[in-house]
Structure 1
């Protein structure tokens, strides 16, 4: 067994522990034994990192008719208590939810920029009026009361109004929007910024897993960026709480560790879902898969479903990255809009990590704690990579990719041009 030895009592908080900003992994000196499979670093959670969750009672009768009526019964604990806003407060903050204040829109609803009475700038998520959104609201309020981490988007408060039929969530405003919008925008990201984003997102996701929470929808759109390009994992409305959903556990042993699997309806976004996720099988490794694809987008600037012509075939991003790896041409994957050059060895290691994260067999993917340490250069996954290269099971010329990502199709353009399928 391999250990990274502790320098403080695990039953107490470290002297320099700061609740609003928990320690990054390189300053976390807890004992980190490898598990029995030799794969995962098990990290201790200090008491102050977790506060009680919220109890949210939803109107049961509303779901019968697929209407949407929020309950007024929300109980928040003293610690981690969220501010409750009135509908009128948020209406004024957004100039009556003006289109000019809208900064995002999706199936979940709309996001508006708002200015509160104290002149603070916030993002207000106004959920669509569907019964299913009540569960999203419940999950995000619960997470808002129990999570305090530098790389997780923090819920400031909420609005729950039965009179207006509204569920709204209030967050800190992120100047640089989402990683997805930034990669498609006019501001080119250099390698240090991309590396910082990758590490921040990995830290946030690793912390969720430490708390027994599976995000279930990791993609560039849920990685938010502040003015310093610090990454925050957001949109946890589809999260699965391992302790709360013990009845859905299908693995042997305690259904709360990182090796636990849960049967539930498929959640997430099509192109970022791992193979087992399509069957309703959820685990932390499902998040790892989405993170791997997000890493590939971060490096290449291309969307997961965009195709590239190679040897007469159209390949989606993951297939293309794998093919370039086999041909030792990973430099072709790097975003041509990346300014100021980049560290070739660092980029290569990051691509390798992404490919390890997106292996078809979830048991062979690293845990997020390992991904963090790898990105920070603390550990090496070289042996994993060597096995990946020699293991025939890892080859992507198989039925799964052909069926889920689209069959290889003839490509008449050999210049490497790509576009949406």
Structure 2
């Protein structure tokens, strides 16, 4: 099985992939999960400009997306309860989109901190004209009109001005930024490392937010630490709904044995998501609520270890990816080696071990074996246990064969076998 992707730069998290960019002439190798534990790897030849950690939005053409093309006018989405801001309001809030107000940048947007006339502190996402622009605007505005939940990033409004070329979304400002920015190696040390109670709180909040989306029959399709925003109390808010799939609109594209309204319905769509947080089905453009569960499981492993999903670690002289490493440590009852060395001491060992088990259950290759997000919430809150599922996991899933763990493109050397988890 071969997938076409591109050259990987593991030193940074690059901007989102642009389907209209010129293909790279070079090729290299990346590794995709392929075993019942979600931990083994296969090689994939790379030939397009996509990088690990970058959002993967593949399309043969703008027409396949069903999106805006330069010759077509952009229609305003339904406003509903959201406010439609003027260009003047947003320029005033950001000092004319000053560089000093910029707090983030992606392939499709720049994000600015703003102060509205009423004193509200907001985050203003300024979108670029892109073939997926209409889909992103529509999904964000529609979801903003539908939902107000404590663990979903509130959308206050938008600005759409063809005259000024302004396509903007306005959200509540999150003081502590993204989870990714707090875990990422090399970031500013102004804030202390997250302790275990805070990490557990973030995990529960994120799980609640995703579960609520699933209750409303919405698949996020891009669950990762960069899309988990944190307020001043480190309350998690799921954000970036531009890739959201509304299941009720895709009933005719459902591919399942049961009813399209069932929990296990799968839907065909363009391949979208972020490498490292996408399960194997997602690479074929097939999505279900269990696609988000996989992304959540990988996020849990990052939250516990402080490592990126594609970072490698040496265990007994063998180079393993994050999921394979967690699986191996769990099999050998050495899960404590997975814990971020930056995490302050005093964490609850039992809770961390159980959370590692949940992460491994969420990243199983077979989506049917993964728990639902509602179950993950109850487990993290200590209301239910997953002992039976874990016993089945141990019986059915073996440590991946080392012959399948060829990831030489990730690292050229293997440190001593005594090395344990390091900081990001």
Does the residue aligned with 1:369 lie in a helix, a strand or coil?
helix
How many residue pairs end up in the alignment? 356
Structure 2 unaligned blocks of 5 or more: 1-62
Check if 1:254 corresponds to 2:273. Answer: no
TM-score (norm 2): 0.79
Preserved CA contact (<8 Å) 1:305 1:317: yes
Measure how far apart 1:129 and its partner are. 1.5
Check if 1:416 corresponds to 2:422. Answer: no
- Give the corresponding residue for 1:130: 130
* Aligned counterparts of 1:135 and 1:146: Cα–Cα separation in 2: 16
Preserved CA contact (<8 Å) 2:312 2:411: no
- Give the corresponding residue for 1:396: 400
* Aligned counterparts of 1:223 and 1:408: Cα–Cα separation in 2: 28
Preserved CA contact (<8 Å) 2:337 2:421: no
Q: Per-residue displacement from partner, 1:68-118 (whole Å, max 9, x unpaired)?
A: 8663543333xxx10110011111111111111110101121100001111
* Aligned counterparts of 1:272 and 1:379: Cα–Cα separation in 2: 26
Q: What is the root-mean-square deviation in Å for CA atoms of aligned residues?
A: 2.5
1:193 to 195, 198, 210: 198
Preserved CA contact (<8 Å) 1:113 1:122: yes
Q: Per-residue displacement from partner, 1:127-167 (whole Å, max 9, x unpaired)?
A: 12112122111100000000111100110000011111221
Preserved CA contact (<8 Å) 1:125 1:168: yes
Preserved CA contact (<8 Å) 1:271 1:304: yes
Residues 403/160 of structure 1: CA separation in 2 closer, same or farther (3 Å cut) = farther
Preserved CA contact (<8 Å) 1:69 1:165: no
* Aligned counterparts of 1:309 and 1:320: Cα–Cα separation in 2: 8
Residues 116/64 of structure 1: CA separation in 2 closer, same or farther (3 Å cut) = closer
- Give the corresponding residue for 1:74: 77
Q: Per-residue displacement from partner, 1:265-314 (whole Å, max 9, x unpaired)?
A: 21100111001111111011110000000001111111111111112221
* Aligned counterparts of 1:404 and 1:286: Cα–Cα separation in 2: 24
Measure how far apart 1:236 and its partner are. 0.9
Check if 1:284 corresponds to 2:284. Answer: no
2:279 to 268, 274, 278: 274
* Aligned counterparts of 1:341 and 1:294: Cα–Cα separation in 2: 22
Does the residue aligned with 1:100 lie in a helix, a strand or coil?
helix
Structure 1 unaligned blocks of 5 or more: 1-59
* Aligned counterparts of 1:258 and 1:365: Cα–Cα separation in 2: 13
Q: Report 1 or 2 for greater relative contact order, CA contacts < 8 Å, sequence distance ≥ 6.
A: 2
* Aligned counterparts of 2:66 and 2:316: Cα–Cα separation in 1: 52
Residues 419/277 of structure 1: CA separation in 2 closer, same or farther (3 Å cut) = farther
- Give the corresponding residue for 2:310: 305
Preserved CA contact (<8 Å) 1:308 1:419: no
* Aligned counterparts of 1:246 and 1:405: Cα–Cα separation in 2: 42
1:233 to 208, 228, 238: 238
Does the residue aligned with 2:309 lie in a helix, a strand or coil?
coil
Residues 159/405 of structure 1: CA separation in 2 closer, same or farther (3 Å cut) = farther
TM-score (norm 1): 0.79
Check if 1:347 corresponds to 2:347. Answer: no
Measure how far apart 1:402 and its partner are. 4.4
- Give the corresponding residue for 2:332: 327
Does the residue aligned with 1:95 lie in a helix, a strand or coil?
coil
